[in-house]
Amino acid sequence: MYCTESQCQQGGIMTIVIGFGAFVVAFLVHVIWWRSFFVKNTGVVLIAVLSVSIGVVIFGYLAASLWLALPRNPIALLQATTLAFALAVAYVMTYPAVEVPSPTLVIIDIIARAGSPGIERSALNRTLDDDFLVMARVDDMVNERYVRFANGRYELTPKGRSMARFFVKWRSFLRLEKGG
């Protein structure tokens, strides 16, 4: 038994409420931050903002539980922290699609807006050009410091080189084609 019967009964609900609560607070801090400042290197800043906010909520709950009659189940609190970080990591993985338009989602959006008459393939090809499909992502990589722009050329930073090598090695380990 890693908790008493009453602790266990309150544990699951406490985990879900505190875990989601901590993530919602962290998400709101992120929204306020992004609306207030021009954020560069968004990936790193996003991870920092979410982690610190979740940490503050969890420690705040711990501190409050010393004075208020709040449930104090260490296992459930650890589980809640894990849940909040799991939500945060899942959001961080989804965030690039929010920041830079994903071609697949844009295609779906345009087709949905065309409605019942539909749309021709050629119209999509005219709309979604190289600038939109490629250079928007290059700019995003410069912003994220995976790539630097110097003397009219784009080159990988050590961070970008590590990412490229990680994916090449990982996909080779899985015996998959290069991908991308």
Partner 1 sequence: MPFFGLAINFIVQVAMCRLRLAGLFLSHVIALAAGAGAILATWNLPAQTPDGMAANLLIYLLFSYVYFQVNHMGQTARRVRLARDLEPGALTRAEILARYDAKEIIDHRIDRLIAAGQIAEKNGRLYLNGSAIYSISVLINLLKELIFPAYRNDVRTRGEDA
Q: What are phi and psi of 136, to 5 degrees?
A: -60, -40
Q: Specify whether the CB–CB gap between 11 and 79 falls below 8 A.
A: yes
Cβ closest to partner 1, residue 66 vs residue 112 = 112
Complex with partner 1: residue 17 or 66, whichever CB lies closer: 17
d(Cα 160, Cα 141) in Å, to the nearest integer?
Answer: 8
Measured from the CB of residue 94, what is the shortest distance to partner 1 in angstroms? 8
Nearest approach in angstroms of CB 50 to partner 1 is 13
Cβ-count burial 66-90 (b if 16+ within 10 Å, e if not):
eeeeebebeebbebbbebbbebbee
Nearer to partner 1, 66 or 93 (CB): 93
Calculate the alpha carbon distances from 12 to 7, 60, 71, 169 in Å. Answer: 9, 20, 12, 40
Shortest Cβ distance from residue 9 to partner 1 (Å)?
6
- Which 3 state secondary structure label does DSSP give 14? helix
Q: How far is the CB of 69 from partner 1 (least distance, A)?
A: 20
Q: Which residues pair with 149 in a beta bridge?
A: 154
Task: Choose between 67 and 153: whose C-beta lies nearer to partner 1.
Answer: 153
